[in-house]
Structure 1
């Protein structure tokens, strides 16, 4: 299979940012949600200059607020976890939007696909997360089996409790991207170097 894009989210420490850059992580995520234990300081995010794509994760902010933070922190993309509508996505810029969907909240995979179709022209990427809308970093995993037989046209990331222990099961559904957070941590916002290296070693092995 092709190597998926790897995004590591919940960054709060410069040493973790540097580790991700050294290991070849493609995208790093910073959470802008005060209720999260991984809430990021905008000044810290603005100070990050590694060449790795920077993504902001937003829940309650309006499109205007998101754009303001993106400009201040020099973010490349906005990951939307607040159920933002098509107008908000379009205002932020379709090529800069990663919109989250929660498969467990739909009665069927087909219902989720119909919802995704409405956003296909205003989102560059989708993200499939575990749990309910607005949650994240809970350590819960998606039922990978429900993704085996659906075809999502827009590039997408698979999230939800991904770790070295369930990585092979996640890869079996052939996701274009993986979003990893709590599964490579020793504490919220503190990445575990050994776990992160194990994930990246497994990803590197895909090309061998």
Structure 2
């Protein structure tokens, strides 16, 4: 689990080289590319292949595609992971590859943490990472949710928190549930698909401030 400043950073919805470079500059470990035609951040495999991201894990976000389509896009775009943001089952994940899947879950659809943990156990042997997002399905909701009840979650997998995160609320989110990583998109954008580099830098500063002063109140950053 994380201890303030060492939380892993994933920036999603990247569409261009300049923003990918900005993500690298703030120490992002992962960058995400959206392969969903209905999204305003949708990209093509060819676009993504042209974006260079040395030493950063590349993640494709998929909703409706078949396993074969996903594997083809991953190969064309040069992706390390498939973030499955639909209701793909265990067999689907295994087909894509157990070390190549980040599976999305929506805690707000569960009645209890125990119910969520039961689902996590079902997917334990077919995923590399978990991601917890706002809402009850889909993604891109651009709003946070009460993730405090995830603190101490029983999971053997590295898990990321998503949902309306940005410089103004990232410290509160990290301290509330102690995620392994955070997933950012709209909260660090100037417009859909275009990152705001000042917001990216402010987010990095907020996390660095937490690392220097772990007992200081989040609102001070």
The answer, yes or no, to whether TM exceeds 0.5 is yes
Counterpart position of 2:60: 56
* Range with greater deviation from structure 2 (65-74 or 137-146): 137-146
3-state SS of paired residue (2:103)? strand
Q: Give SS of 2:99's match.
A: helix
Alpha-carbon deviations, 1:157-206, whole Å to 9, x = none?
A: 00000011111111111100100001111111111111111111223344
Q: Is 1:167–2:162 an aligned residue pair?
A: no
Q: Helix, strand or coil for the counterpart of 1:133?
A: coil
Look up the match of 1:201: 205
User: Where has structure 1 moved over 2 Å in runs of 4 or more?
Assistant: 148-153, 202-208
What are the ranges of 5 or more consecutive residues in structure 2 without an aligned counterpart?
A: 213-221
Rate the CA distance shift 1:23–1:149 in 2: closer, same or farther, 3 A: closer
TM-score normalised according to structure 1 size:
0.95
1:23 Cα offset (Å): 2.0
Aligned twin of 1:105:
109
Q: Distance between the aligned counterparts of 2:204 and 2:23, measured in 1?
A: 9
Aligned residue among 117, 122, 126 for 2:121: 117
> Is the CA contact (8 Å cut-off) linking 2:11 and 2:185 kept in structure 1?
yes
CA contact (8 A) 2:171 2:210 kept: no
Mark the runs of 5 or more structure 1 residues left unpaired by the alignment. Answer: none
1:86 aligns with 2:86: no
Q: 2:73 aligns to what?
A: 69
Distance across 2 between alignment mates of 1:17 and 1:150: 31
* 2:17–2:52 contact (8 Å) kept in structure 1: no
> d(CA) in 2 for partners of 1:206 and 1:72?
39
Aligned position for 2:40:
37
- Which residue pairs with 1:128 in the alignment? 132
Question: Offset of 1:149 from its aligned partner?
Answer: 4.5
Name which of 132, 136, 157 aligns with 2:160.
157
Give the corresponding residue for 1:17.
Answer: 20
| Distance in 2 between residues matched to 1:30 and 1:149, nearest whole Å | 30
1:6 aligned onto 2:47? no
